Amino acid sequence: MPARTHTAWLIAGLLILAAAGGGWWRIQHRRDQQQLAHQVQSALQELRRGPAQTELRPLLERLEHDRAWRDEHRLLAGADRLRKGEVDAALLFLASIEPQGDQRLVHQLWLGEALYQAGRLADADALFARLAADFPNEADVHRWVATILYDSGQLNPAMAALDRASQLAPDDFLPHRLMALTYVQDFRQYDDAIRHYRLALNRAPPDEVRDELRRELAQCLVFQKEFAEALEVVRQVPESPRQQLVQIEALRGLGETAAAQAIWNRLQQSASQLEGVALLGAMLDLDEGRGAAARQRLQGVLARDPHNLVARNQLIRACQMVGETDQAKAEAERLITSKTLHDRHDQLATQALAEPDNGPLRLELAKLCDQLGRPADAARWRRNAARP
């Protein structure tokens, strides 16, 4: 073959190999980018459910060094910091980007959550109001709207937003649990709470949440004096101090005092400082006629919480049992004072539902909560009063 022809073939071969190599590189690069996109999407989904169960650092480092993935890096880094409780760092990452398309919703949800956790309630409120207008069929948006409404003392609108969220996500347990908690803590409507706890349990909650739901359901059943069902439900929960408390209440309600006392004895050994242990111990003492022992326990409970109506009632009973009539009368007067505070609180809380812009009313509620030993509620009412 002539030298010129040989050279031409060699050049042609090299060009073919170069073209093939370039095509292979493009295919490999496309595959790498697709794999990276899948990893990012999986991480985003995992962080929407809660803290990441996998180590995100390698993925974040890879994204950080590729300008094409700048927004995804900051979105993931912000969400990861938020789930770890590093709110200020989360805000720095999340506020530095404005993702579009499929990532806009999740970005805005996390940014709103970060603003809320940072105490910037007005900014969070405005953000979630925009999201509700832009994404009216997103259950997560309505859950956050409910959170903002609840925090501002607007309980009925908050419950309506949770109901909407439950309709949009019929398989999600969380709206039902939040409604159940609100019925218990704010309305004391235990029959409605029981209904929503059952609805939540029927929606396959995670194992650790399912046990909490069952314990909370059993407590509501105790409040409704459905002791047999309460005992059946709470015995499905792994034993813990709080589970034991509900067991004791249910057994005591069924008249099984010996069994209740046996569990209380174990609980006293393992968690004597847990709220409710001393009170239940005093009630068991009274059931067995041990008035002096009950009186001592109840005085300790009331030293920590002077407006505990149940403890005060039981102390009157204990004083009567040991023949301290004058002391029983004095405790009855204190009971009236505490009940007046509780009734005034409930009256103002009901009024606050109808007057969401009444700041002075909320400040009065905050003072009442301070008197009743409810610092978290006091702080919430003060935040509400300060909001525009």
The pLDDT assigned to 102 comes to: 81
In a domain, 153, yes or no: no
Residue 310 located in a structural domain? yes
What is the DSSP-derived secondary structure letter of residue 183?
Answer: I
Could you identify the residue written with the tokens 């909370």? 216
336 in any annotated domain: yes
Q: What is the largest CA-CA distance in the chain?
A: 128
Higher pLDDT, 10 or 381: 381
For the chain, percent of residues with pLDDT exceeding 90 = 65
* More confident site: 105 or 2: 105
Look at residue 385 and tell me if it is in a domain: yes
What total number of domains does the chain contain? Answer: 1
Whether the model clears a pTM of 0.85, i.e. scores above it, the answer is no
Rounded to whole angstroms, how far apart are CA atoms 73 and 65? 9
325 in a structural domain? yes
Q: 34: which 2 tokens?
A: 């697709």
What tens digit of pLDDT does each residue of 307-366 get? 999 999 999 999 999 999 999 999 999 999 999 999 999 999 888 878 888 899 999 999
**Residues of the domain holding 334:** 296-342+367-388
What number of CA atoms fall less than 13 Å from residue 246's CA on the CB side? Answer: 31
Please tell me the predicted confidence (pLDDT) of residue 99.
86
Burial class from Cβ neighbours inside 10 Å (0-12, 13-18, 19+) for residue 334 reads middle
* Pairwise pLDDT comparison (58 vs 166), residue with the higher score: 166
Q: Looking at residue 254, what DSSP letter applies?
A: T
Distance, in Å, from the CA atom of 255 to the CA atom of 225, rounded to the nearest integer, reads 12
Using alpha carbons, select from 98, 99, 79 the residue that is nearest to residue 90: 79
Residue 300 inside a domain? The answer is yes
pLDDT at 15 over 70: no
pLDDT tens digits for 78-137? 888 898 899 999 999 999 998 888 889 999 999 999 999 998 888 999 999 999 999 999
Query: Is 103 domain-assigned?
Result: no
Top-confidence residue, 173 or 53? 173
3-state helix, strand, coil in the chain (%, to 5): 80, 0, 20
Q: What confidence tens digit (pLDDT) does each residue in 53-75 have?
A: 667 778 778 877 777 888 888 88
Q: Which token pair is 11?
A: 């050049």
At 316, phi and psi to the nearest 5? Answer: -60, -45
> Rounded distance, CA 220 to CA 81, Å?
36
pLDDT of residue 17: 52
> Which burial class, exposed, middle or buried, applies to 356 when counting CB atoms under 10 A from its CB (0-12, 13-18, 19+)?
middle
Cβ atoms within 10 Å of 87's Cβ, excluding its own: 18
| Distance (Å, whole) CA 307 – CA 303 | 9
How far is it, in rounded angstroms, from Cα 147 to Cα 158? Answer: 7
Across 11-16, average pLDDT: 57
Question: 45 burial class (0-12, 13-18, 19+ CB within 10 angstroms)?
Answer: exposed
CA 39, chain centre distance (Å): 28
Residues 193, 184 contacting (CB under 8 angstroms): yes
Residue 247 located in a structural domain: no
17-31, 336-350, 372-386: which range is least confident on average?
17-31
Question: Rounded to an integer, what distance in angstroms lies between the CA atom of residue 73 and that of residue 83?
Answer: 15
Question: What whole-number distance in Å separates Cα of residue 312 and Cα of residue 307?
Answer: 8
| DSSP label of 184 | I
Report yes or no: 77 and 93 within 8 Å, Cβ to Cβ. Answer: yes
Name the residue with higher pLDDT: 60 or 238: 238
Which residues are CB-contacts of 215 (< 8 A; sequence separation ≥ 6)?
A: 234, 237, 242, 243, 246
